[in-house]
Amino acid sequence: MKQAFIDSLTKLMEKDKKIITVTADMGFSVFEDIKKRFPKRFFNTGITEQASISFVAGLSLSGYKVYFYAQAPFISMRCLEQVRLDIAYHHLDVKLIGSNSGFSLNQYGVSHYGLEDIAIIKTLPGVTIFAPADSVEMTASMEESYKIKGPVYIRMTKTGNQTIHKNNVDINKPILINEGKDGLFLVIGGLLNRAKEVTASLKKYNINLNLYSCPLVKPTSRALITLLKANKKIFTLEEHTIIGGFGSTIANLIIDNNLKVRLTKFALPDKYLHVSGSMDYLLDQSGLGIDSIVNKIKKII
């Protein structure tokens, strides 16, 4: 996924000389080629995320389209006031690339977990949010972000490093992965591969779910609402806290459209984990293990 981001950014910078890339002391190796090819349009501002947001806001006000790359938890929490006042309030053409969301930096502990970013960023009016699941969706997110004249947040995760899609995708609507008749399974971000394993396991019990990847988190699409209306049992999966995430967005859509459905949200529980370990271990401890999800869906179906 990270290489897809770099490749897409390079192509955009080749096409548009008004694009500037700024990184907060991250991605030295992956940005090496961009730094060499576009030395006057690449800035490493160091570990100064708050000041960096104000810096990129100034660049945008000067007529540039800016891509800012930093850790997801730092963009969404450390810099929230600057993102809110300097970028969102003025609806600036700044693209925020939140790297290593979820448990991606598991070895660094809670300070580097990006588990609340969607809930925080989606409260800011006019900010588009993408949560790509693989390199194909990442490329599509970058291409779409370029077309949008306003702030965009793209949520990257280490679990999205596997390529799932064989063809290009329409990033602005849910993307069908598997067809089924027993319910709707909506997933964002890098847990799509885990969702595929869940649906494969459920087939052994003659349970077939409609599985969709939903990279466009905000705003919601009419196609998503149409899917909700066509299903009575709906499941969501995300590497994010259960409070305010994608599942909460789906719950709001169900209420707003007065739908008579059953919604089950698979997300991180509303509590801190006081353990450390691999990403798989942390997901398992959070109730997002494959067997745990399968067993809960079996009981509901």
Per-residue pLDDT, 105:
87
Per-residue pLDDT, 30:
84
Close Cβ partners of 218 (under 8 Å, ≥ 6 residues apart): 122, 127, 128, 129, 249
Q: What is the pLDDT of residues 142-174, one digit of tens each?
A: 999 999 999 999 999 987 567 899 889 999 999
Per-residue pLDDT, 14:
98
CATH class of 2-160: alpha beta
On the 0-12 / 13-18 / 19+ scale of CB atoms within 10 A, 112 is middle
Query: In which order are the strands placed within the sheet that holds 216-218?
Result: 42-44, 19-23, 65-71, 94-99, 152-155, 128-130, 216-218
Query: In which order are the strands placed within the sheet that holds 233-241?
Result: 175-178, 210-213, 184-187, 233-241, 262-268
Helix (H) or strand (E) holding 211: strand 210-213
pLDDT less than 70: residues of the chain: 27-28, 160-161
Q: Which of 92, 77, 80, 125 is nearest to 20 (CA)?
A: 92
Within its chain, how far is the Cα of 82 from the centroid? 21
Per-residue pLDDT, 163:
85
CATH of domain 175-300: 3.40.50.920
Per-residue pLDDT, 160:
59
Please list the residue range(s) of the chain that carry CATH number 3.40.50.920: 175-300
Q: Which of 245, 10, 252 is nearest to 142 (CA)?
A: 10
Beta bridge partners of 213: 175, 187
Provide the residue type at 184 as one letter: L
Asked if 127 and 153 touch (Cβ cutoff 8 Å), the reply is yes
- Give this prediction's pTM: 0.96
Per-residue pLDDT, 166:
87
Cα separation values, 29 from 6, 25, 97, 115, 139, Å? 11, 11, 17, 26, 19
Q: What is the pLDDT of residues 206-226, one digit of tens each?
A: 999 999 999 999 999 999 999
Provide the residue type at 224 as one letter: L
Percent of all residues in the chain with a pLDDT value above 70, rounded to a whole number: 99
Per-residue pLDDT, 298:
98
Q: Pairing mode, if any, of strands 233-241 and 184-187? A: parallel
Backbone angle region of 264, left / alpha / beta, with phi > 0 → left and psi within -120 to 50 → alpha: beta
Start-to-end Cα distance in the chain:
34
Please list the residue range(s) of the chain that carry CATH number 3.40.50.970: 2-160
